[in-house]
Amino acid sequence: MKTSLDCVPCFARQALEAARMVSADVTIHEQILREVLRWSSEMDMDQSPPAMGQRIHRRLREITGVRDPYRAAKDLQNQIALDVVRDLEARVKAASDRLAIGVSLAIAGNVIDLGVTGTLTLSEIQESVSRALEEPFTGDLEALRAALAKAKRILYLADNAGEIVFDRLLIEQLLPAQVAVVVRGAPVINDATMEDARTVGLPEIAEVIDNGSDAPGTILEDCSLDFKRRFTEAGLIIAKGQGNFETLSDERRPIFFLFKVKCPVVASHVGLPVGTPVLASAPRRA
Amino acid sequence: MKTSLDCVPCFARQALEAARMVSADVTIHEQILREVLRWSSEMDMDQSPPAMGQRIHRRLREITGVRDPYRAAKDLQNQIALDVVRDLEARVKAASDRLAIGVSLAIAGNVIDLGVTGTLTLSEIQESVSRALEEPFTGDLEALRAALAKAKRILYLADNAGEIVFDRLLIEQLLPAQVAVVVRGAPVINDATMEDARTVGLPEIAEVIDNGSDAPGTILEDCSLDFKRRFTEAGLIIAKGQGNFETLSDERRPIFFLFKVKCPVVASHVGLPVGTPVLASAPRRA
């Protein structure tokens, strides 16, 4: 997905919110805002939106000298999600269609995203879960079920801390031995890294690797050679979150995207309202 | 009022919306957006927000070659407002406190503003009027009443087309012979100019002058010498709309501002929620 003109005001707003979240120093807020405005004025609109997010958060870490400014937020999100999910495990085990409920909850967990709104509360997570258990997501679950039955190697591209606890629920319903979970290669916003995967016990149920990149999405040319090889060889890719959708939606690979629609630009791209839980597939399978 | 960092993402959004309103050409949308981003990256934050609005709309008129891109929108707003106000005149005449109802309706008319939200419907105007007749505005009406009783020369700084029909209702409750109504010196967004004043019959009840400027507010150093002299000599100034508030709120003159709070930055400045109808006075009278 290319960057829309409508993404640009949002870059400025998100840069300002991020600066305020990682520093109390107003000169830093102004500095990053002015830099983002200058970059945006010259930006290549053929890039996907997360390329700008990567640049903003890299620069914020550089200016503040803090390697992982969202570490405390991520720890809290993992903890809250572990508490919420504990009560859901029995429900998933007892469900008549475990894949359906697993997908629903994995999408529900995508509400844990500090990139778009900046804040999140426990009650918002609980509300997202309640809604997921009542309202169906939009998308072709049977196509995913069929693809899962055939695929030997499955890549599961994770998105955010906290959210990965919900992903674990879904991965347990797949054949975990065939799944490699992919986290970001370095901290960016509250996206999940290897540290988060370990915190929530993902390595105990599946292989976990990182993609070698600090983009809040999957910008292939920025990823490690090892990740790119696995991406090409995978029989099925499950990609979580809007950032992975924005960066991979034009790839001709067998990808299923699981996310909540979080902004008007993506809403118009997928033809669904903001807030919709979506299971979308890539334009054409490789 | 200085420009807040929070105004900057809004400049980009408003520039894009304005470009789309005045042209269907996406290369123009992108061009103005990139220019506004570059200007914003270097801007003097001590300026008031309407200085950027002035620059954006000047440039849009220059690029498109259209002198008054909102002319048709303004004509429509004047017409709708004339229809709405016709039904209100008897009500104002019969009111026990004509000044109070006049102020309420003048503030209600401030909903006719294409600078902030970009669109407006008849039902929104009617809803604003209904609410104004039920809910009181926030502010010291008695201070305005006392100032009106003393003032010999009153300047009434108008804001938008359509809205000026509601202003006429209020001006009729003052001593119109002492009032000079001020419109913008040239078209900018849907702000009222001399053409709008004539369309709604303002010159028939009071003197109407223009301020010599094309800013969507009153940037004194950009106004004509004649206007500046009158501004200094006026015993009382009534200033309509958020743009006039943003540009004049730091002036040590006897100004009463009448407007709806339309954005979080002004809301935080006046300590009232977005949407509040306000009668505010300048920090200290001269």
Query: Mind telling me how many Å the CA of A14 is from chain B's nearest CA?
Result: 9
pLDDT at B118: 53
Chain B 33-72, residues with CB within 8 Å of chain A CB atoms: 33-35, 37-38, 40-42, 45
Across chain B, mean pLDDT equals 93
Query: Tell me: the pLDDT tens digits for A28-76?
Result: 999 999 999 999 999 999 999 999 999 999 999 999 999 999 999 999 9
Query: Mind telling me how many Å the CA of B268 is from chain A's nearest CA?
Result: 17
Partner-chain contact A41 B30, CB within 8 Å: no
In this prediction, residues B217-243 reach a mean pLDDT of 97
- Structure-token pair, residue B271: 């300590």
Distance CA B48, CA B50 (A): 6
Query: Tell me: the pLDDT tens digits for A128-183?
Result: 899 888 988 999 999 999 999 999 999 999 999 999 999 999 999 998 789 999 99
- Residue where the block lists tokens 């109390």: A24
Looking at A61-65, A232-236, B112-116, B204-208, which range is the least confident one? B112-116
Q: Is B252 exposed, middle or buried, given 0-12, 13-18 or 19+ CB atoms closer than 10 A? A: exposed
pLDDT at B113: 77
Partner-chain contact A35 B16, CB within 8 Å: no
Do residues A242 and A166 touch, judged by C-beta distance below 8 A?
no
Distance CA B203, CA A70 (A): 61
Distance CA B195, CA B172 (A): 20
Per CB-CB distance under 8 Å, the chain B contacts of A20 are: none
| Confidence bin at B26 (pLDDT 50/70/90) | very high
A&B contacts, CB < 8 Å? 55
Task: Decide if pLDDT at B258 tops 50.
Answer: yes
Q: How many CB atoms lie within 10 A of CB B4?
A: 17
Per CB-CB distance under 8 Å, the chain A contacts of B10 are: 9
- Give A161's contacts (C-beta < 8 A, 6+ positions apart): A70, A73, A74, A75, A77, A78, A112, A190, A191, A192, A193, A196
Q: Is A118 exposed, middle or buried, given 0-12, 13-18 or 19+ CB atoms closer than 10 A? A: middle
Task: Decide if pLDDT at B41 tops 60.
Answer: yes
Q: How many CB atoms lie within 10 A of CB B98?
A: 16
| Confidence bin at B27 (pLDDT 50/70/90) | very high
pLDDT at B175: 81
| Confidence bin at B285 (pLDDT 50/70/90) | very low
Do residues A57 and A70 touch, judged by C-beta distance below 8 A?
no
Query: Mind telling me how many Å the CA of B216 is from chain A's nearest CA?
Result: 21
pLDDT at B124: 83
Query: Tell me: the pLDDT tens digits for A243-278?
Result: 999 999 999 999 999 999 999 999 999 999 999 999
- Is residue A27 less than 8 Å (CB to CB) from chain B? no
From the list B10, B16, B40, which residue is nearest A5 (CB)?
B16
From the list A5, A33, A34, which residue is nearest B33 (CB)?
A5
A217 by DSSP, 3-state: which? coil
Partner-chain contact B45 A29, CB within 8 Å: no
Nearest chain B residue to A8 by CA: give it.
B12
| Confidence bin at B115 (pLDDT 50/70/90) | low
From the list B8, B30, B38, which residue is nearest A12 (CB)?
B8
Cα Rg, chain A, nearest whole Å? 18
From the list B5, B12, B26, which residue is nearest A9 (CB)?
B12
Partner-chain contact A38 B35, CB within 8 Å: no
| Confidence bin at A116 (pLDDT 50/70/90) | low
pLDDT at A197: 98
Partner-chain contact A9 B5, CB within 8 Å: no
Query: Mind telling me how many Å the CA of A62 is from chain B's nearest CA?
Result: 19
Residue B207's DSSP bridge partners are B180
Query: Mind telling me how many Å the CA of B242 is from chain A's nearest CA?
Result: 21
- Is residue B16 less than 8 Å (CB to CB) from chain A? yes
Cα-Cα-Cα-Cα dihedral sign, residues A16, A18, A24, A28: negative
pLDDT at B123: 84
In this prediction, residues B216-240 reach a mean pLDDT of 97
pLDDT at A284: 52
Query: Tell me: the pLDDT tens digits for B167-221?
Result: 999 999 998 789 999 999 999 999 999 999 999 999 999 999 999 999 999 999 9
Query: Mind telling me how many Å the CA of A7 is from chain B's nearest CA?
Result: 9
Partner-chain contact B16 A9, CB within 8 Å: yes
Alpha carbon separation from B71 to B55, B61, B166, B196, B236 (Å, rounded): 19, 12, 19, 9, 31
From the list B8, B10, B29, which residue is nearest A33 (CB)?
B8
Over pLDDT 90: what percentage of chain A?
Answer: 87
Distance CA B24, CA B27 (A): 9
Ramachandran assignment for A53, one of left (phi > 0), alpha (psi -120 to 50 degrees), beta (any other):
alpha
Buried b (16+ CB within 10 A) or exposed e, B15-30: bbbbbbbbbeeeebbe
Buried b (16+ CB within 10 A) or exposed e, A4-21: bbbbbbbbbbbbbbbbbb
- Is residue B28 less than 8 Å (CB to CB) from chain A? no
Angle between helix A122-134 and A71-86 (nearest 10): 40
pLDDT at B39: 95
In this prediction, residues B241-261 reach a mean pLDDT of 97
Chain A 92-111, residues with CB within 8 Å of chain B CB atoms: none
pLDDT at A123: 84
Q: How many CB atoms lie within 10 A of CB A203?
A: 12
Nearest chain A residue to B45 by CA: give it.
A30
Residue of A161, A147, A65, A152 lying closest to A115 (CA atoms) = A161
Partner-chain contact B37 A34, CB within 8 Å: no
Distance CA B105, CA B102 (A): 5
Partner-chain contact B30 A6, CB within 8 Å: no
Looking at A45-59, B52-66, B110-124, B251-265, which range is the least confident one? B110-124
Residue of A259, A260, A286 lying closest to A274 (CA atoms) = A260
Per CB-CB distance under 8 Å, the chain A contacts of B32 are: none
Residue positions counted in chain B:
286
Distance CA B159, CA B167 (A): 9
Query: Tell me: the pLDDT tens digits for A69-95?
Result: 999 999 999 999 999 999 899 999 999
pLDDT at A117: 52
pLDDT at A23: 93
Ramachandran assignment for B170, one of left (phi > 0), alpha (psi -120 to 50 degrees), beta (any other):
alpha
List the strands of the sheet with B236-240, edge to edge. Answer: B138-139, B277-281, B255-260, B236-240, B154-157, B179-183, B207-210
Query: Mind telling me how many Å the CA of B54 is from chain A's nearest CA?
Result: 19
- Is residue A123 less than 8 Å (CB to CB) from chain B? no
Partner-chain contact A16 B8, CB within 8 Å: yes
From the list B10, B29, B40, which residue is nearest A5 (CB)?
B29
Task: Decide if pLDDT at A242 tops 90.
Answer: yes
In this prediction, residues B39-62 reach a mean pLDDT of 95
pLDDT at B119: 63
Distance CA B56, CA B259 (A): 23
- Structure-token pair, residue A247: 């960066």
| Confidence bin at A286 (pLDDT 50/70/90) | very low
